[in-house]
C-alpha cells in the first residue's frame, strides 16, 4: 500500500518486528524517512495496528513541516514524541467514532 503525505509517497509494510527494541520495549512500528516507508509489526490486533499506523503517519506529517528535523537536532525530540503519543489515540478514536467524516468532508 502507498500513501502520500505532502510531496512524499510512503510505502506501508507489515514485518515481524519482535527482534527490535527501543528503551527495552518491543517496537510496534517505525518510519524510515530515507526509504520513504512505514513499517508496522505484523502481529498486532486491528485496533493496535490502526493506532500504530496513525502514530507513524503523524510523524510523517510532522516531518513534512520540518518539526521532526528540528527535534533530531535539539532537545525537543521527547516533546515531539509526547505530542504524537498524545494525538494518536485521539485521532484514532475520532476516525472510529465518525466513520462518515472522510466521505462527507474530505473529497
Determine the Cα–Cα distance for residues 46 and 26; give it in Å rounded to an integer: 18
Domain-wise residue ranges, the chain: 2-105
Mean pLDDT of 66-78: 62
Q: What DSSP designation does 43 have?
A: T
Mean pLDDT of 74-82: 73
Taking the model in full, what pTM does it have?
A: 0.79
CATH fold of the domain at 2-105 = Arc Repressor Mutant, subunit A (1.10.10)
Whether the predicted pLDDT of 99 surpasses 80: yes
Q: Where are the beta strands (DSSP E) in 33-98?
A: 37-41
Give the number of other Cβ atoms within 10 Å of residue 41's Cβ: 19
- Per-residue pLDDT tens for 12-31? 999 999 888 777 778 899 99
CB 38 within 8 A of CB 12: yes
Amino acid at each position: 500500500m502507498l500513501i502520500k503525505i505532502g510531496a512524499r509517497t510512503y510505502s506501508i509494510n507489515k514485518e515481524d518486528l519482535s527482534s527490535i527494541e527501543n528503551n527495552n520495549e518491543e517496537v510496534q512500528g517505525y518510519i524510515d524517512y530515507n526509504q520513504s516507508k512505514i513499517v508496522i509489526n505484523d502481529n498486532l490486533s486491528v485496533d493496535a495496528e490502526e493506532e500504530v499506523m496513525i502514530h507513524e503517519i503523524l510523524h510523517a506529517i510532522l516531518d513534512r513541516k520540518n518539526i521532526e528535523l528540528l527535534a533530531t537536532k535539539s532537545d525537543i525530540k521527547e516533546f515531539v514524541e509526547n505530542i504524537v503519543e498524545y494525538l494518536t489515540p485521539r485521532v484514532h478514536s475520532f476516525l472510529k467514532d465518525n466513520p462518515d467524516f472522510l466521505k462527507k468532508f474530505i473529497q
